[in-house]
């Protein structure tokens, strides 16, 4: 039935103390390098501890200090590689400092998310990092109520605050979405594009809104065509990109460039362009935001604004370390700069705008879905 008792027994602090004829408390102090211990004693203890291969028990320490030296990370889903990069950056800071990372996915579901927070709190994590679009009032309250340091990634506390909590002491780490897209607009304007389309991310995401704002700001500042039909609603996935692209490219006077709020939608746009017989970048320039792994592929070679994912993770890690050593810190917001990576999906605006061949399919949704389906699955 129940799990068998583990036989393993390690060397305890008492063992070390007895071996040396000193008190456990002295050993503890020495191991923590407290100045109160005499240098000679400290040296003896250190040596003996090493010789006996002493390892402090994380559980015992956690019980008394109420700190587990671990932080919980909540992701919306495991599928998006960009979260890995963030965790990688986070770990690069936290692991050397003796912390471990617990990960959980919300699967974009409130209940799962709440359960994850719950599980983390129960395990006495020292902090919670949230990279999730789907926290609601309840989860926010739960998070605020547990009294732990919380860092929000890609979601501004302001957004959070106005949407949900009356006041929040959460830290924020994100990227310069507005500036990134603005720079993208300028890049295209420099290439002579005057009529640029934009496919937005989901409206509930503050980061997506910032990207849209960067577009509008750029268009206004550079005096480009600001026709409202040049902004299409999207939602960060490939299909949304296809849908948005189809809308924009079917316009009576189609844009000569399209900015998608993320790379995935830019890929969708590429696909539609190709189907309409538009060659990229000769007939149409396409750019995205994020710089996912595949954007660098020669066959894709997408111009994009790079999300500094690793740096975001590192920044979160550093901030956490700060908070651990000084709990009184007031919340901060870190906005990391982005780089524009110019590849081969952008070029000078065409002198003559070829409308392209209209998409033949009537039932777009079914058509889009069918483009994903393999024709056969053979069970080997």
Partner DNA sequence: TTGAAAGCGATACCAC
Partner DNA sequence: GTGGTATCGCTTTCAA
Rounded Cα gap, residues 347 and 345, in angstroms: 7
Site string for its own copies, 72-91 (x = CB under 8 A): -----xxx-x-xxx-xx--x
Q: What is the DSSP string of 15-84?
A: HHHHHHT--HHHHHHHHTT-TTS-HHHHHHHHHHHHHTT----HHHHHHHHS--SEEEEEES-S--HHHH
Site for its own copies, residues 223 to 282, rule: CB under 8 A:
238, 267, 270-271, 274
The Cβ of residue 352 has, within 10 Å, a number of other Cβ atoms equal to: 5
The stretch near its own copies (CB under 8 A) out of 100-108, 131-139, 163-171, 228-236 is 100-108
Q: Which one, 126 or 263, has the nearer CB to DNA?
A: 126
36 binds its own copies (CB under 8 A): no
Cβ atoms 74, 129 nearer than 8 A? yes
Rounded Cα gap, residues 209 and 365, in angstroms: 26
Rounded Cα gap, residues 262 and 74, in angstroms: 21
Site for DNA, residues 39 to 98, rule: CB under 7 A:
40-42, 54-57, 60-61, 63-65
The distance of closest approach from Cβ of residue 103 to DNA in the complex, given in angstroms and rounded to an integer, is: 25
361 binds DNA (CB under 7 A): no
The stretch near its own copies (CB under 8 A) out of 114-122, 243-251, 253-261, 350-358 is 114-122
Burial class from Cβ neighbours inside 10 Å (0-12, 13-18, 19+) for residue 228 reads exposed
User: Is the N-terminal amide bond of 52 cis, ω within 30° of 0?
Assistant: no
Q: Which one, 119 or 227, has the nearer CB to its own copies?
A: 119
111 binds its own copies (CB under 8 A): no
Interacting residue with its own copies among 157, 174, 180, 197 (CB under 8 A): 180
DSSP 228: G
Q: Residue 361: which of DNA, its own copies, none does it interact with, CB under 5 to 8 A by kind? A: none
25 binds its own copies (CB under 8 A): no
Q: Which one, 147 or 277, has the nearer CB to DNA?
A: 147
Rounded Cα gap, residues 195 and 226, in angstroms: 8
Q: Which one, 38 or 158, has the nearer CB to DNA?
A: 38
Q: Residue 108: which of DNA, its own copies, none does it interact with, CB under 5 to 8 A by kind? A: none
38 binds DNA (CB under 7 A): yes
Cβ atoms 320, 293 nearer than 8 A? no
46 binds its own copies (CB under 8 A): no
Query: Which residues share a beta bridge with 195?
Result: none
162 binds its own copies (CB under 8 A): no
For residue 334, what are the CA distances in angstroms to 52, 73, 318? 45, 18, 11
Rounded Cα gap, residues 137 and 162, in angstroms: 11
Q: What is the DSSP string of 212-223?
A: HHHHHHHHHHTT
Q: Which one, 97 or 226, has the nearer CB to its own copies?
A: 97
Number of residues that bind DNA (CB under 7 A): 31
Query: Which residues share a beta bridge with 73?
Result: 103, 129
Rounded Cα gap, residues 252 and 230, in angstroms: 11
Site for its own copies, residues 303 to 332, rule: CB under 8 A:
303, 305, 324-327
Interacting residue with its own copies among 14, 23, 51, 119 (CB under 8 A): 119
Interacting residue with DNA among 6, 21, 328, 375 (CB under 7 A): 21
53 binds its own copies (CB under 8 A): no
Number of residues that bind its own copies (CB under 8 A): 89
The Cβ of residue 88 has, within 10 Å, a number of other Cβ atoms equal to: 13
118 binds DNA (CB under 7 A): no
Cβ atoms 52, 15 nearer than 8 A? yes
The distance of closest approach from Cβ of residue 233 to its own copies in the complex, given in angstroms and rounded to an integer, is: 21
222 binds its own copies (CB under 8 A): no
Site for its own copies, residues 337 to 356, rule: CB under 8 A:
337-344
377 binds its own copies (CB under 8 A): yes
Q: Residues interacting with DNA, by CB under 7 A? A: 5, 9-10, 12-14, 21-26, 28-29, 31-32, 36-38, 40-42, 54-57, 60-61, 63-65
């Amino acid at each position: 039935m129940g799990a068998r008792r583990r036989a393993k027994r390690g060397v305890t602090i008492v063992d070390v103390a007895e071996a040396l004829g000193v008190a456990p408390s002295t050993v503890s102090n020495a191991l923590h390098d407290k100045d109160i211990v005499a240098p000679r004693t400290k040296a003896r203890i250190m040596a003996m501890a090493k010789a006996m291969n002493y390892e402090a028990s994380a559980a015992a320490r956690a019980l008394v200090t109420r700190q587990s030296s671990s932080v919980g990370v909540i992701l919306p889903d495991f599928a998006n590689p960009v979260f890995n990069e963030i965790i990688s950056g986070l770990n690069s800071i936290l692991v050397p400092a003796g912390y471990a990372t617990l990960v959980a996915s919300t699967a974009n579901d409130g209940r799962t998310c709440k359960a994850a927070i719950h599980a983390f709190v129960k395990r006495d994590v020292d902090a919670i990092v949230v990279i999730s679009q789907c926290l609601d009032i309840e989860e926010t309250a739960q998070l605020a109520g547990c009294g732990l340091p919380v860092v929000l990634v890609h979601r501004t506390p302001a957004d959070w605050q106005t949407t949900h909590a009356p006041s929040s002491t959460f830290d924020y780490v994100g990227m310069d979405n507005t500036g990134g897209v603005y720079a993208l607009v300028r890049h295209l304007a420099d290439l002579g594009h005057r009529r640029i389309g934009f496919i937005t991310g989901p409206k509930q995401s503050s980061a997506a809104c910032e990207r849209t704002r960067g577009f509008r700001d750029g268009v206004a500042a550079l005096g480009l065509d600001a026709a409202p039909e040049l902004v299409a609603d999207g939602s960060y996935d490939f299909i949304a990109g296809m849908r948005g692209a189809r809308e924009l490219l079917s316009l009576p006077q189609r844009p000569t460039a399209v900015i998608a709020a993320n790379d995935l939608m830019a890929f969708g746009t590429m696909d539609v362009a190709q189907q309409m017989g538009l060659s990229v970048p000769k007939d149409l320039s396409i750019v995205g935001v994020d710089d996912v792994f595949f954007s660098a592929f020669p066959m894709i070679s997408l111009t994009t604004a790079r999300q500094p994912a690793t740096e975001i993770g590192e920044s979160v890690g550093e901030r956490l370390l700060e908070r651990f050593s000084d709990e009184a810190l007031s919340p901060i917001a870190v906005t990391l700069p982005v780089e524009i990576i110019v590849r081969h999906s952008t070029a000078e605006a065409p002198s003559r705008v070829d409308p392209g061949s209209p998409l033949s399919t009537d039932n777009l949704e079914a058509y889009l879905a069918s483009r994903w389906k393999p024709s056969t699955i053979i069970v080997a």
